[in-house]
Structure 1
Amino acid sequence: MSGSTKKPEIVVFAGPNGSGKSTITNLLRPTNMVYINADEIQQALGCDNMEAAKIAEQRREACVKARKDFCFETVLSTERNLNLLRRAAAEGFFIRCYYVLTADPQINVFRVATRVAAGGHDVPVDKIIARYDRALDLVKELVPVCDVCHIYDNSLDTPYRIFKKRKDQYWYCPEADLWLKEDIVALTGIHSVVRGALNKQS
């Protein structure tokens, strides 16, 4: 019997409302994985957002129980999905995260308003800002759970990778003017981060 059995994998796209997760997801989402998205469930079934969120949670739990690869998108502003990732990691899943943020929650507010004007779903301004703060506070708890973690600043027209973790190695991008080393340490809680060329290759 081979000892190199591949671990089941979870790919998670996380970050505050209006950060541009969906854009990153569309670029990087593995096409060979089950994709669980509450917005798509709501559109497909015609249910309300609470019911869609419940169905999405049930599908994630079912994948973990079946040890099946899957991918999902989340604001990650509460412990619920973080606890799911912790439990999956403890059960042998490989956790890969793409975290998308901006340098200022007002950018998120503007983008959500732009999305609504184009026919997209709304999120109240107070919720956007509260979730932004809670989500960034949880990054310190998210990074240790992940085998691989990429953090992108999507404040401008093009996403810019500011942090990368692979196993027990950590890099930050020295060219990111808005994210000095001390800012990355404050965001991630990782003090052993070193300089790296994070935007020359994926």
Structure 2
Amino acid sequence: MHNNLAIFYCGTNGAGKSTLRSLNQDIVQIVIDSDHIAMQINPTNPRLADLEAGRKAIELFKFAIKNQISFSMESTLSGKSILQRMKTAKENDFKVRLNYVGVDSVNINIARVRARVLSGGHFIDEQTIKNRYTISREHLNSAISFCDEVFIFDNSGKSPKAMLHIENQQITQIADELVDWCKVLLDELLGLGFEI
């Protein structure tokens, strides 16, 4: 039934979405990454190209849906539009997979973005990162309900580690020990009727 995959990489700035995506090597035809698109449009100042890059990302998404082409897409999960895209993909017979990458403290996100800027990466101010950290986590439970399959990764350490796998309301704990934010998430999901 689901011939095509829609893979969403979500998490706050600096959580490690791109790192995880490069480790996973998904079999998809289209990779939608608005930061990468912005870099192509305006290499010297990609932030000036954010709006245009966002529009191009939406065009790519619509193209993939219309032509039934497997794709992956990155998002901080801090806006409602990404939830709508997950729903749209599902309604169009895509198998929707979410790879959510989180860290135990927003200070990790802030430090990583700061380090990224020093090596030529893009800047995001601390308040925006803090807001996205909170909202992204709030949106996660809704996102899980739209997805056929979910992998929860913690990237508080040196590399992303799989913590939980969720499919058909069933949660499988992958890691021997859950980090704090994953314990909270697990409790929330059990409260919503998910089973372990």
Task: Write out per-residue CA displacement over residues 164-193 of structure 1, whole angstroms, 9 at most, x where no aligned residue.
Answer: 112332123451242564542226865434
- Residue 61 of structure 2 corresponds to 60
Q: Using the alignment, how far apart are the partners of 1:7 and 1:158 within structure 2?
A: 31
What are structure 2's unaligned runs of at least 5 residues?
A: 43-47
The Cα shift of 1:76 comes to 1.2
Q: Using the alignment, how far apart are the partners of 1:182 and 1:41 within structure 2?
A: 35
Q: Using the alignment, how far apart are the partners of 1:177 and 1:135 within structure 2?
A: 17
- Residue 175 of structure 1 corresponds to 177
Q: How does 1:44-193 map to 2 (within 5 A)?
A: 44-46=40-42, 48-172=49-173, 173-179=175-181, 181-186=183-188, 190-193=192-195
Q: How many residues align?
A: 190
The Cα shift of 1:157 comes to 1.2
Measured at CA, do residues 131 and 188 of structure 1 come closer, stay the same or move farther in structure 2, by a change above 3 Å? farther
Measured at CA, do residues 29 and 165 of structure 1 come closer, stay the same or move farther in structure 2, by a change above 3 Å? same
- Are 2:23 and 1:27 aligned? yes
What are structure 1's unaligned runs of at least 5 residues?
A: 195-202
- Are 2:14 and 1:18 aligned? yes
Task: Write out per-residue CA displacement over residues 62-105 of structure 1, whole angstroms, 9 at most, x where no aligned residue.
Answer: 21122221111111111101101112212211001111010111
Quick one: which amino acid aligns to residue 141 of structure 1?
Answer: S
* Structure 2 residue matching 1:16: 3-state secondary structure: coil
Does the aligned pair in 2 maintain the 1:162–1:179 contact within 8 Å? Answer: no
Does the aligned pair in 2 maintain the 1:139–1:188 contact within 8 Å? Answer: no
Percent of pairs with identical residues: 26
Q: Using the alignment, how far apart are the partners of 2:56 and 2:179 within structure 1?
A: 41
Q: Using the alignment, how far apart are the partners of 2:172 and 2:192 within structure 1?
A: 10
Q: Using the alignment, how far apart are the partners of 1:27 and 1:188 within structure 2?
A: 30
Measured at CA, do residues 151 and 160 of structure 1 come closer, stay the same or move farther in structure 2, by a change above 3 Å? same
Runs (4 or more) in structure 1 with deviation over 4 Å come to 179-183, 187-191
- Are 2:11 and 1:9 aligned? no
Does the aligned pair in 2 maintain the 1:174–1:180 contact within 8 Å? Answer: no
Quick one: which amino acid aligns to residue 19 of structure 2?
Answer: T
Q: Using the alignment, how far apart are the partners of 2:162 and 2:51 within structure 1?
A: 32
- Residue 198 of structure 1 corresponds to none
Does the aligned pair in 2 maintain the 1:19–1:154 contact within 8 Å? Answer: yes
The Cα shift of 1:15 comes to 0.6
- Residue 197 of structure 1 corresponds to none
Does the aligned pair in 2 maintain the 1:140–1:189 contact within 8 Å? Answer: no
Q: Using the alignment, how far apart are the partners of 2:31 and 2:61 within structure 1?
A: 9
* Structure 2 residue matching 1:61: 3-state secondary structure: helix
Does the aligned pair in 2 maintain the 1:139–1:187 contact within 8 Å? Answer: no
TM-score normalised according to structure 1 size? 0.85
Does the aligned pair in 1 maintain the 2:10–2:75 contact within 8 Å? Answer: yes
* Structure 2 residue matching 1:192: 3-state secondary structure: coil
- Residue 32 of structure 2 corresponds to 36
Q: Using the alignment, how far apart are the partners of 2:38 and 2:184 within structure 1?
A: 41
